[in-house]
Amino acid sequence: MAKRKNDIETVLSQLDQLADAPPNEETWFALRRGFMSKHGVAVGKAAKIAAKLEWKDGIPDMLKAYERLSHNGANVDPGCIGKANIIKALRRLKAYEPTTYIRGIRYKQFEAVWGGKEDRAAQLRAECAVALAETGYADALLYIADLLADPETEARAGAAQALSCFSGATPIALLRLRALSGELNVRVLEEIFSVLFALSGPPNNSEEEDETVRFVAQFLESSDIDVVSVAAITLGSSRRLLAFNALREFAENSLDEERQRIAFEAIALLRLPEAFDYVVETISRGSEVEARLAEQAMSIYRDDERLWERVETARADRKGEDGLSFLFDD
């Protein structure tokens, strides 16, 4: 085992020396040797270097290495490190290899873990989904749609990300269906919500904007506080006025402190004049709990002298009090 580890370290050390090597035949020869390594991690490093050097002539060698690592993958490429880096390199080199990407979307690699086996190819499937989407392959949506139902989180998130490469109603419909089909993983929901806003583009009219905001805003009613949080933060990151309206309603209708905290933090993220006015007004005239949460939400702007001056003025303006002893008092 020690000898095997030393072998890997030697190969990786040799490859490290190629990172800044001149693009010449000697470098290409050394990279080809890297692609022939029996260690997936070494093959992956060679692929990263080839992509950095924009060596398109190395694509056939990468494809051969990918095929080899796909057989008995758990032993030759644990964690799919080599295969995933090859796909990333192919993407960077803009290689049109839809067959390889489709096979990768369907690829699973079960490896032994404590108490059983675990599929370690989820990230590879995600990379292949994005790679296939970027090729413009005619039937790409069919394969990416299947991946939205993958049991692994990273694969579903990758499928959602891949859908950002398309336009029209179909990718939007697929994302909405996934979100409404019991998806509770916040990593996947975060990707879905972000892509939905990206696909909706800059709002051309209130009706278009309202539909995207309306869909995400319904998740503010979830019983899962993590789902509520990701929906609120996505709305806050959208910088849309109708998102402010939805978040303000959420803040005013929330009865527990945790949901109010999430609401104010999301509103502060909007960076809209209307949002800042609302939060500052809450500090000045809201209940003590609301004012404290609103001030905490504005703390991300403490280095903005103009905004923080408004916060301090609002604290001082509270009727019947000489300012509040909040978290950020000096």
| pLDDT tens-place string over residues 78-113 | 999 999 999 999 999 999 999 999 999 999 999 998
CA distance 103 to 97: 10
Mean pLDDT value of segment 150-159:
98
Question: What are the CA-CA distances from residue 115 to residues 78, 79, 111, 112, 118 (Å)?
Answer: 18, 18, 11, 8, 10
Start-to-end CA distance of the chain, whole Å, equals 59
Other CB atoms within a 10 A radius of the CB of residue 45 amount to: 24
Mean pLDDT value of segment 28-33:
90
Other CB atoms within a 10 A radius of the CB of residue 224 amount to: 12
Q: What is the pTM of this model?
A: 0.88
What pLDDT is recorded for position 327?
A: 46
In which band, very low, low, confident or very high, does the pLDDT at 207 lie, cut at 50, 70 and 90?
low
DSSP symbol at 299: G
What pLDDT is recorded for position 317?
A: 83
Residue 329 has pLDDT above 80, yes or no: no
CA distance 329 to 9: 54
